Amino acid sequence: MKTLFVAAAIIVLAGCGVESLSTAVTAASIKAKEIEEAKKAQERAQQKIDQATQLMQQRAQQPGNDATR
């Protein structure tokens, strides 16, 4: 009887460990996706900043621009 109880306890605890591990893996996967999306958003923002900077430089170099006087 004692052996059966110990075996049952081991199975239950192992099951909890598997569930905890599964939950941790799922959470890590979600975080990895969030990080990847944040990197993409950062890249898009940097591209927009670069485009705006380039446009400002082009406008500043145009003849008749108040910035060149």
Q: Please determine, for residue 18, whether its predicted confidence score (pLDDT) is greater than 90.
A: no
Helix/strand number for the chain, H first, E second:
1, 0
Q: In terms of residues, how long is the chain?
A: 69
Using pLDDT thresholds of 50, 70 and 90, give the confidence band for residue 12: low
Q: What is the mean pLDDT of residues 44-59?
A: 97
Domain boundaries, the chain: 16-56
What CA–CA distance (Å, rounded) separates 66 from 48? Answer: 25
What CA–CA distance (Å, rounded) separates 50 from 68? Answer: 22
Nearest to 28, CA basis, from 8, 36, 67: 36
pLDDT at residue 14 in the model: 67
Q: How does the average pLDDT of the chain come out, rounded?
A: 84
**Global model pTM greater than 0.85:** no
Say which DSSP state 8 is in.
H
